[in-house]
Structure 1
Amino acid sequence: MGRTLGLILIAGGIIVGIIIVVLMGVYRGEGRLTAGGMALGITLGLLVLVLPQLGFGAFLFWKGGQDTAVAARAQQQRQLLDMVKTRGQIAISDLVIELNSDRETVQQNLYQLVGMGLFSGYVNWDEGMLYSRQATELHQLHKCEHCGGELELAGKGVIRCPFCGTEYFLER
């Protein structure tokens, strides 16, 4: 919506600018304006009417692009969350293919979901598997389910096995 409105304002600003220049040219041609009056009329018209409209249109166009990118990322995170929670476990490669994404983006989306407290489970990046688990099960976990190693706190809501790299994500 913002991009469309921005484009409309930009197009309107260009049209108003053209009208001002043509109108001043016509008045000059009829002898109603001097060359200095025409230049002043064009300058004032562009500064007062056209530039603010173009500036605001450009801002709305830019902001609309940002909003679209945020909405696309949120949609991708919803899809990721739905796939993992409904299947219980899923291969990272399957997520990459189904989300039409790359491994790094999937990892970033997953960390953001954990940071927002929307996902609990664990992932083994070497094995390439993501598992959904109830937070209550993971809070009671002291040893890695993959290799049996002692777990360490790696960050807010993240516990990592220092031996195999498996990361456990806890909901808040």
Structure 2
Amino acid sequence: MTAPATPALREMRWWDIDPVLELEKALFPEDAWSRGMFWSELAHSRGPEATRRYLVAETADRRIVGYAGLASSGDFADVQTIAVARDHWGTGLGGRLLTELLAAATAFECAEVLLECRVDNTRAQKLYERFGFEPIGFRRGYYQPGNVDALVMRLTDPSTSLNGVRGTEING
């Protein structure tokens, strides 16, 4: 079996919401975001007052196989979401998306980046740890339904985690 071609990363736009929702529901069936949540986030991602950065990973045949989003506020940024289609797990796509979010946090001049991760999602936790995120606490019953706890992780100075290596340039 051949490895999938490397998807291109680009800015998420409104026309990506439906395919992103399909992937969202496939990966997070119990706590998937709604269409309105994505619309709201994208509304804050453009223009001089933008506080969000949302990306999609798109294959050559225009299939969305990943997405990620970051919100910034003052000195802090929060990884809102990051997801990769199962057939692209282990390809480095999650790391590429996270690299772009950290570059956005650096551009927003954020000193720290926070995120929440399901306590049972060790795959994601390992990715975040490779980038220097450290556990700092829990949010009990954060993921509903199911009452699953979230592990809160923090990265100080996101620019140091980039190590001079960037993913594919974003076409917006």
Q: Greater Rg, structure 1 or structure 2?
A: 1
**Comparing both chains, which one has the higher relative contact order based on Cα–Cα distances under 8 Å and sequence gaps of 6 or more?**
2
The TM-score range, normalised by the shorter chain, is under 0.3
After TM superposition, the score normalised by the length of structure 1 is: 0.25
After TM superposition, the score normalised by the length of structure 2 is: 0.25
Which is helix-richer, 1 or 2? 1
